[in-house]
């Protein structure tokens, strides 16, 4: 369960909270005036989230490229489902 602390408590207990965040790998939400202001996370957990985001962006770009390439092939009268990887590579090399 995500821990929520006020900004004053966060400031007063920073060392202990930092240790707990690193050990549990669970982020802490810091609120100010009853509204979330910060999310504090371990660096390792942050890196993992960043890598996952980059991976998802790369997969989305690959998918967009695949859709665009299939569209390009269809416009040239080529059925992408009938194309071998070698033939597709040759077409890409020509571009």
pTM (two decimals):
0.66
* Judgement on whether residues 49 and 89 belong to the same structural domain of the protein: yes
* Judgement on whether residues 77 and 57 belong to the same structural domain of the protein: yes
Sheet harboring 28-32: ordered strands across? 3-6, 28-32, 35-40
pLDDT at 94 over 90: no
- pLDDT tens track for 46-60: 999 999 999 999 999
* Judgement on whether residues 50 and 36 belong to the same structural domain of the protein: no
* Judgement on whether residues 49 and 73 belong to the same structural domain of the protein: yes
* Judgement on whether residues 50 and 88 belong to the same structural domain of the protein: yes
Mean per-residue pLDDT, 15-21? 95
> What range defines the domain where residue 12 resides?
3-41
* Judgement on whether residues 50 and 24 belong to the same structural domain of the protein: no
pLDDT at 16 over 90: yes
């Amino acid at each position: 369960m995500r821990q929520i602390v006020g900004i004053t408590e966060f400031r007063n207990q920073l060392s202990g909270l930092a240790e707990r965040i690193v050990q549990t790998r669970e982020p802490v939400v810091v609120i100010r005036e009853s509204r979330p202001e910060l999310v504090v996370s371990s660096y390792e957990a942050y890196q993992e989230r960043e890598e996952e985001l980059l991976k998802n962006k790369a997969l989305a770009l690959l998918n967009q490229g695949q859709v665009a390439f299939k569209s390009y092939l269809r416009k040239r009268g080529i059925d992408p489902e009938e194309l071998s990887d070698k033939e597709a590579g040759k077409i890409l090399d020509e571009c």
